[in-house]
Amino acid sequence: MGKKQRLQSPSGMHDILPEDQKYFDKLYNVAENLATFYGFEKIETPIMEFTELYEKGTGLGTDIVEKQMFSLRTKGGDHLTLRPEFTPGIIRSFIQHGMMSLPQPVKLFSIGSVFRYESPQAGRFRQFRQIDFEVFGERSPAIDAQVIQAFYNLLSELKFKNLVIEVNSIGANCCRPYFKKVLTSHLRSHLNSLCLDCKRRARENPLRFLDCKEEKCQPIKAQAPQIIDHLCEECHNHFKETLEFLDELGLPYRLNPYLVRGLDYYTKTVFEIFADVVVQDKVLPLALVGGGRFDNLGKIVGGKDIPACGAAAGVERIVSGMKENKLRIVSESKKEVFLAQVGDLAKKKSLKLFEEFRQAKVPVAESLSKDSLKVQLARADRLNVRYALILGQKEALDKTVILRDMKNGTQDTIKIEKAVNEIKKRLKRKR
């Protein structure tokens, strides 16, 4: 027999423990409120799709499809893949369910897990979560600006500092093919100096060279032609108007001519939003949101022309930043009342009283598994509740309960059937 392994989560996949849930809940709550304000409706797509959807949509030449997909073949012979991103699945659903017949634009958002086979390291997981906003059926650059604004506001409300939007245009089919020829010519003249990945990219997907982080490629990148100088009139005007909208909104942005994003379907506007985050005791700008326009994806996936724009935020990265920034989260369900009991009869009565408080929507803490009154009241102190209700054998027989004010130590004995109303009255007075 092999060596017995300890039970643990798979490499690159992690538990979200109770003490961290408040950060995730806060982030999701802010995201859903913003989605509602901007008119996005929630959609949930399957966690698995046919592999072909990502090969066609995300792109065969992308790192995601080439290296990072979790794929399987079913007993029936279907090739399926755990979603590595939301956008192809959402546009597949948009087409499948005839949403083109709805009033346009259609705004959709999703929150959930995505899966990529990456080497696990700090801040990178094989299962992680994203918040995804997508807008379909509108070509106006105002939509580009609104998607950027929504995610900028998300990070602002979570108290991230020094937010900066990096933005670029990568053109479209009308002007990008010519730029690819110009860039490929530049790369061929420096082929021997490129890293191994970029030698391959020079043949297969030259735009991905602009995203290379290898040190030896940086001098070649600095001398490379810039796509912004090769935009057609339509793409140039779209980008100019997008920047004018950002100026009007007062959003801080900088042009990054090397920003291309790692997915084949992007057209025209691409962007990332950076925030100052503490990483290993250093304050560094970290990309928390990325997205752009993808007017060609509908045609690639379903043969339909669907103008679209969207972006996704990395949940774990944002939560890590919230914790590093020591964001204070006030629990919305803070309990003001503790129910203590001593003895079997009191425990039975407490269960019924506890349910009465639930029906009255008054949050109550309890320790039904504990018998010691001292232990229970010590827990009430730790929870910093205002009132404790104490039920002993005598009170259970008399159908009464002791109501103790934990702040000043005073207490009264009241009828058990009046306990809920008395607590509600006192809590209302306290507010």
Residue found under tokens 């933005």? 167
- What is d(CA 292, CA 121) in angstroms, rounded to the nearest whole number? 27
Running DSSP on this structure, what letter comes out for residue 393? H
384 shares its domain with 294: no
Q: How many domains does the chain have?
A: 2
The C-alpha R_g of the chain, in whole angstroms, comes to 28
285 beta partners: 276
CB-based burial label for 139 (10 Å; 0-12, 13-18, 19+): middle
Residue 362's domain comprises 337-430
- What is d(CA 22, CA 347) in angstroms, rounded to the nearest whole number? 31
- What is d(CA 275, CA 93) in angstroms, rounded to the nearest whole number? 33
258 shares its domain with 375: no
What is the value of pTM for the model shown? 0.85
Residue found under tokens 């774990």? 316
266 shares its domain with 390: no
CB-based burial label for 65 (10 Å; 0-12, 13-18, 19+): buried
Residue pair 207/229 in contact (Cβ under 8 Å)? The answer is no
Specify the CATH number for the domain of residue 297.
3.30.930.10
306 shares its domain with 352: no
245 shares its domain with 343: no
- What is d(CA 108, CA 133) in angstroms, rounded to the nearest whole number? 6
Determine if the peptide bond prior to 105 is cis (ω within 30°).
yes
Q: What is the pLDDT along the chain (431 residues), one digit of tens a residue?
A: 455 567 898 888 999 999 999 999 999 999 999 999 999 999 999 999 999 999 888 877 677 887 889 999 999 999 999 999 999 999 999 999 999 999 999 999 999 999 998 776 656 799 999 999 999 999 999 999 999 999 999 999 999 989 999 999 999 989 988 998 999 999 999 988 999 889 988 888 888 888 888 999 999 999 999 999 999 999 999 999 999 999 999 999 999 998 988 677 899 999 999 998 776 677 888 899 999 999 999 999 988 889 999 999 999 999 999 998 888 887 656 788 999 999 999 999 999 999 999 999 999 998 888 778 999 999 999 888 999 999 999 999 999 999 999 988 899 999 999 999 999 999 888 66
54: nearest Cα among 301, 244, 423, 280: 301
Specify the CATH number for the domain of residue 382.
3.40.50.800
